Amino acid sequence: MFPETRLRRLRKRKIQPLVRETQVLATDLIAPLFIDETLREPSPISSMPGQFRIPPDGIAGVVRRLYDAGIRGVILFGIPKTKDSTGSSAHTKGGVIQNAVQSIRMEVPEMMIITDVCACEYTDHGHCGILTDDGMDLDNDQSLALMADIAISHAEAGADCVAPSCMLDGQVKAIREALDAQGFSETPILSYSTKFSSSLYGPFREAADSCYSCGDRTTYQMDPANAREAFRESRIDSEEGADILMVKPAGLYLDILKEIRSLGLPVAAYQVSGEYAMIKAAAMNGWIDEKKVVLESLTCIKRAGADLIITYFAEDAARWLHEK
């Protein structure tokens, strides 16, 4: 007890770096990228200042820049030229993601390429798979076959890791079995194992052109109020063969992240578009210091248990970490 115990002894500026418990590294960060098949020039995303949709012939250059900044992983989202009710362009051999993977693989072979496995960018209704006959909800089991086809097409193109994000029951099992049957038993699955039906996804839907035309996603994404169910979701994905688990969003769900860490698998956290937009807006108004808030937020996400952090701040954060 005070005065014998003085915790401030370890807060002297020279000592603090030596006893810091949590360190964020550039190699912890994964950069999300949007490739738009309809573009010839990068297009700014209005709700996400500093982020762009990238034309297919520009993606390799962007990834090279990220690699040179110290980033070692990217996750790809595609915006196709054509959409239909079954998301068929998501798994075509010459699709936007398949071509992007091949381009990156040739130009930046050192980069780990993760591909988002979902159909919301590819369906004309904006939902994450095939709808039920009445058009009112997602048909879980029909959509599983679609996710398996998408994952196989990404692996065939050269993806290092596939990341199913649609929160279907059985998605990991279906994809694992399909990959193994096609000779891709070494391709890991990063599962969006606990993805909440959050209000923080709005800017992403502009970025990925994935707004839904009917209903919402509350019947397949998770209720933010349910912690026990959140743990069950990730535990089941672990049992089905997921190699990495994910909590999305990150910042408001650090309690969930800490619990899922106990399952023993590597854990990713997604600092989502709304989190990015809020920090950017406050910084642009001069209300907060962007660099300090970003690095603090990433530190807290890692402290809660994340091994990997998907963040739109990846490139800036890598530079700031290097400056430190």
Q: What is the DSSP string of 211-262?
A: --SSS-STTTSBPTT-HHHHHHHHHHHHHHT-SEEEEESSGGGHHHHHHHHT
Verify whether residue 248 is a known catalytic residue. yes
What angle in degrees, to the nearest 10, is found between the helix axes of 140-157 and 96-107? 30
Residue type for 226, please? N
Q: Which one of 248, 258, 292, 324 is the catalytic residue? A: 248
3-state SS, residue 202? helix
Cβ-based neighbours of 158, under 8 Å, separated by 6 or more: 101, 102, 105, 113
In the chain, DSSP assigns E strands to 29-36, 43-44, 52-54, 73-79, 112-117, 161-164, 190-195, 244-248, 267-271, 308-311
Catalytic-residue membership of 280:
no
Structure tokens at 294: 């970003």
Residue with tokens 């490139």: 315
Q: How many CB atoms lie within 10 A of CB 151?
A: 27
- For 284, the token pair is 């642009």
Out of 12, 14, 81, 195, the active site residue is 195
Residues labelled as active-site residues: 195, 248
